[in-house]
Amino acid sequence: MPGLTGAMPDLPSHASPIYPPRPSSGRRVSEFDLNYDDSETPPPPTLLSPAFTPPSTPGANTPPIHKEARSIPVDTASQRPQKLLDTLPEVNCIVRARIPTVTGAEMFLHLYQNNVDDKEHLAIVFGPNIRSRSLDAPRPGETEKDRMIRGAYTGRLHPGRTSSRLDPVSQDKPATQLPTDQTIQSPPLVRIHSECYTGETVWSARCDCGEQLDEAARLMSLPKSQGGVIVYLRQEGRGIGLGEKLKAYNLQDLGNDTVEANLLLRHPADARSYGLATAMLLDLGFGGDAGIRLLTNNPDKVRAVEGPNREVIVRERVAMVPLAWKTGGREGIHSEEVESYLRTKIEKMAHMLQ
Ligand SMILES: Nc1nc2c(ncn2[C@@H]2O[C@H](COP(=O)(O)OP(=O)(O)OP(=O)(O)O)[C@@H](O)[C@H]2O)c(=O)[nH]1
């Protein structure tokens, strides 16, 4: 695509900058490095596999490897500031429910409303100690049953339970003794995940989104894990929506990469924002000095999630290494498309994978 790596005269003013291709070796530019860890298993010479293998059902990819995540310390204080909105959006968790999952792990799905869009953003919470402040806050005139129906209860629900706060059967602690930020021992694991209908629901092997979602859930439900949160943002297609992403796929089949395709459709390379995620993390008690461990390879996301005044602090980064790399190609997604997708993320979007 001649010209796309140079000036972009026809692009709208909100277009994201395009990163020039980076050399494949010696990549140590501190601005994007965030303490880049290159000790991960190197990918095979061809990133994944030359052979196309049909994708398997999402969820079936959950890796059998029971290793915990390795964190890399991060210090964003010296990072180039990003353009972030001055104030965070307002968010309100309106309902929460317990979801047993096919892996046997249990999670609590939290549904949020906000004052900037009409989408139902979600927090997928693993572990019993993470509570939403807005959900737990009493609502005028509500009954105990109302509270239980919207998920503002402690412990577990069971037939016949009458109090949201204290359950003599499960001997819950009263809501006033909910864990506070200070009782969390080490930075909790957090993933900010952007919606990908194709990769998470209809078995696409064009991207690794479904696999990343599985891996985040797996890490947060390991026996020794303190749990964690997947903030699931409804910004499909890196914010351009499903229809436009499908057009981008057609452009990719015509020879453009994922960044070029967005730009040709007159979208920024990445149209996402993370203020809602920051606000949801604050609501879930992740503000303050303790900070979080963030599962990502995306350097822009690390700083953006912290918010305009570093309301949330990313203390460590945990790399999302493709399963095919970790297993020498035995598991994970195998396709020419995902190989090219990962290569473009590394070369043009500075993703911290090698
Ligand atoms: N526009 C566009 N969006 C895509 C494409 N492939 C996946 N996506 C979207 O990209 C988003 C996921 O972003 P990624 O770039 O894979 O990862 P990331 O969130 O930036 O970084 P990580 O935290 O390291 O996963 C989801 O919203 C997907 O729907 C594509 O080819 N074009």
Q: Whose CA is nearest to atom 1 of ligand 1?
A: 237
Q: Whose CA is nearest to atom 10 of ligand 1?
A: 238
CA of 197 to the centre of ligand 1 (A): 11
Q: What is the DSSP letter of 287?
A: -
Question: Of the given ranges (44-48, 89-93, 166-170, 349-353), which has the lowest mean pLDDT?
Answer: 44-48
- Average pLDDT rounded to a whole number, residues 146-167: 94
CA of 146 to the centre of ligand 1 (A): 38
**Ligand 1 neighbour 207 (Cβ under 6 A):** yes
Rounded to an integer, what distance in angstroms lies between the CA atom of residue 333 and that of residue 229?
24
Q: Is residue 158 part of a domain?
A: no
Q: Is residue 350 helix, strand or coil?
A: coil
pLDDT in tens, 318-342: 999 999 999 999 999 999 999 999 9
Question: Of the given ranges (17-21, 121-125, 273-277), which has the lowest mean pLDDT?
Answer: 17-21
User: Could you tell which of 18, 37, 203, 209 is best to mutate to test the pocket of ligand 1, judged by most ligand atoms within 8 Å of the CB?
Assistant: 209
What pLDDT sits at residue 85? 77
Q: Is residue 189 part of a domain?
A: yes
| Atom nearest to 248 CA in ligand 1 | 32
pLDDT in tens, 282-299: 999 999 999 999 999 999
CA of 209 to the centre of ligand 1 (A): 7
* Helices and strands per DSSP (H, E), number in the chain: 11, 8
Helices (H), 178-239: 197-200, 209-220
What pLDDT sits at residue 23? 38
Q: Is the pLDDT of residue 4 over 60?
A: no
| Atom nearest to 194 CA in ligand 1 | 27
What pLDDT sits at residue 234? 98
Q: Is the pLDDT of residue 48 over 50?
A: no
What pLDDT sits at residue 145? 97
Q: Is residue 104 part of a domain?
A: yes
Residues tagged active-site: 270, 272
What pLDDT sits at residue 79? 60
Q: What tokens were used for 282?
A: 């604050």
What pLDDT sits at residue 77? 64
User: Could you tell which of 204, 206, 207 is best to mutate to test the pocket of ligand 1, judged by most ligand atoms within 8 Å of the CB?
Assistant: 207
Q: What tokens were used for 318?
A: 């945990």
CA angle at 79 for the pair 76 and 85, rounded to the nearest 5°: 90
Question: Of the given ranges (64-68, 155-159, 201-205, 216-220), which has the lowest mean pLDDT?
Answer: 64-68
| Atom nearest to 195 CA in ligand 1 | 27
Structural domain count of the chain: 1
**Ligand 1 neighbour 248 (Cβ under 6 A):** yes
Q: Whose CA is nearest to atom 4 of ligand 1?
A: 237
pLDDT in tens, 21-32: 433 333 232 333
| Atom nearest to 191 CA in ligand 1 | 23
Q: Is the pLDDT of residue 265 over 90?
A: yes
Q: Is residue 22 part of a domain?
A: no
Task: Write down how long the chain is.
Answer: 354
Q: Is residue 103 part of a domain?
A: yes
- Average pLDDT rounded to a whole number, residues 196-213: 97
CA of 149 to the centre of ligand 1 (A): 35
Rounded to an integer, what distance in angstroms lies between the CA atom of residue 144 and that of residue 161?
10
Q: Is the pLDDT of residue 197 over 60?
A: yes
Which structural domain range is residue 119 located in?
30-131+179-235+272-348
CA of 230 to the centre of ligand 1 (A): 15
CA of 188 to the centre of ligand 1 (A): 23
Q: Is residue 121 part of a domain?
A: yes
The residue ranking higher by pLDDT, 26 or 100, is 100
Q: Is residue 318 part of a domain?
A: yes
What pLDDT sits at residue 333? 94
Q: Is the pLDDT of residue 211 over 60?
A: yes
Residue 246, number of CB atoms within 10 A of its CB: 12
Q: Is the pLDDT of residue 37 over 90?
A: no
Rounded to an integer, what distance in angstroms lies between the CA atom of residue 69 and that of residue 78?
25
What pLDDT sits at residue 50? 35
What pLDDT sits at residue 206? 97
Q: Whose CA is nearest to atom 11 of ligand 1?
A: 238
The residue ranking higher by pLDDT, 47 or 291, is 291
**Ligand 1 neighbour 301 (Cβ under 6 A):** yes
**Ligand 1 neighbour 348 (Cβ under 6 A):** no
Element (H or E) spanning 313, and its range?
Answer: strand 312-318
CATH number of the domain enclosing 299: 3.40.50.10990
Question: Of the given ranges (83-92, 146-155, 253-262), which has the lowest mean pLDDT?
Answer: 83-92
**Ligand 1 neighbour 195 (Cβ under 6 A):** yes
User: Could you tell which of 206, 238, 266 is best to mutate to test the pocket of ligand 1, judged by most ligand atoms within 8 Å of the CB?
Assistant: 238
Q: Is the pLDDT of residue 132 over 60?
A: yes
**Ligand 1 neighbour 263 (Cβ under 6 A):** no
- Average pLDDT rounded to a whole number, residues 6-33: 37
Q: Is residue 7 part of a domain?
A: no
Share the mean pLDDT of the chain: 81
Burial (CB < 10 A; 0-12, 13-18, 19+), residue 185, is exposed
**Ligand 1 neighbour 191 (Cβ under 6 A):** no
What predicted TM-score, i.e. pTM, was given to this entire model?
Answer: 0.81
